[in-house]
Each structure stands twice: as C-alpha cells, then as structure tokens.
Amino acid sequence: MFAETYPALYRDPQGEVSTTIRNDGKKLRMVLRDVEFISTMFDDWMPTSSVDALALQSFTLDRGELRGFSLEVDMPIPMLFQKEKVQGILHISFVLGVPTSNGGTDREIVALTLNIMNTCFSSQGKSGYFEDELLDLQKQLPNDVTMQICFSCAFSDYSPYGNGLFGCMACFRGNKQVYLAAQTKRDILDLWDTHTEYVQETYRCDEFELRKPGTGYRG
C-alpha cells in the first residue's frame, strides 16, 4: 500500500501553519488549525467532514474549497543517476488566489524545484499544471538522470480532453502493447476505457519503465 508523508508550510492572511501532507496515492490530507482538509488535484482542498462554522472562519472557502493560500511542500521522489537509485527532493511551491466574480480565482501558480545530489533544477512556474512544470524539469535533466515516477513512465498518459492540475494521469499498465502502439487522438480515445486506473504524476509502481520520446499519444 502506498503511504507517504511530506512536510509542508501553509500560509494565508491569518498566518502560517507547519503541517504534514499524507498521501495514499489517491488522496492528499493535511490538518490546518485543527481542521482536516482533503484533496485529489492539489487545488481542491475541502474539509473532510462536517466542521463547525466557527472553526472555518479563519479560512477563505469558495463553494466549499479552500482559496487564498500558498503551500510549500518537500516531496521525496525516486531517481535514477547513471542507473543507480538515488533520492531526489521535489519542492512544490503552490499559490491559489482568492475567488473572482466569474467563479474562478485571481491566480493559480505551481513552481517545482528538483534537488538531486546537491544540484537544483527549477521549472518556470508559468503553466499552472504539474504536467508542464515536470516536463520543464525533465528537459533540463542530464541524459543519465531520470525521475522514476509515473510522469516519466512509458504507460501513462493524459486525456485528450484535458486534465486537472495534479493526479489526473491514466495508467495503461494493464494494456501495455495496445497503448504503446497508439499514436493519434483517435487511437487514445478508442483505448481510453482500458486504462487500469488514474494515478498521480509522482506515484510509481514496480512496473515502471522509462518513457522513450514519441511513445503513445503524448509523445
């Protein structure tokens, strides 16, 4: 069973809270000012159960979801350096703004910094998606350095219809050969329902294989 914890620092206009994010591979959980919040996509934190309104007064909520805050998270991830297994630290800097009149938020920023063996690589933080920020990091890595996570796996892909900030990758480990043969949008749509499960970009399993350029629909 996948179970990890990450140190995190939460900030909002009321102050800052040092907390821990618990990850079971599907859901993220953290406790802020005695209130537990749960998330699947990093920008949809909600109280886990019925909470007294007084306990929520220090938070900005929009349709039940947390807004107007920032999170700094240090997430260990497995790496390969010259075929040797090492550990990297993925630092996540996330900002989610306040609600706007059109139902959105005034800003949503995710920036990633990968520290491996005392060398840092940083994404530009312009896209608002883990997908693009991880791709930015991946392009900077030397040829002998690999993130051993689902994002870098040969059997993972995103829906042609779009995806959320985090946690929306489809894993095709149960239908590997058919997936690997897919090249077009039509191909991936035809086999989409054969995906094994949705996974987080930073998840991993024993069937990991390094993705080669041009693999599957997303290349």
- Which segments of 23-143 does DSSP mark as H helices, in order? 130-140
Regions of the chain where pLDDT drops below 70: none
Would the pTM of this model clear 0.85, i.e. be above it?
yes
CA–CA distance, 74 with 47 (Å, rounded to integer): 22
CB 77 within 8 A of CB 130: no
Q: Parallel, antiparallel, or unpaired: how do β-strands 60-62 and 65-67 relate?
A: antiparallel
The closest alpha carbon to 135, from 219, 55, 205, 51, belongs to 219
The whole-number pLDDT of residue 155 equals: 97
Tabulate helix, strand, coil % of the chain (nearest 5): 15, 40, 40
CA–CA distance, 196 with 24 (Å, rounded to integer): 17
At 86, is the secondary structure helix, strand, or coil?
Answer: strand
CA–CA distance, 34 with 163 (Å, rounded to integer): 31
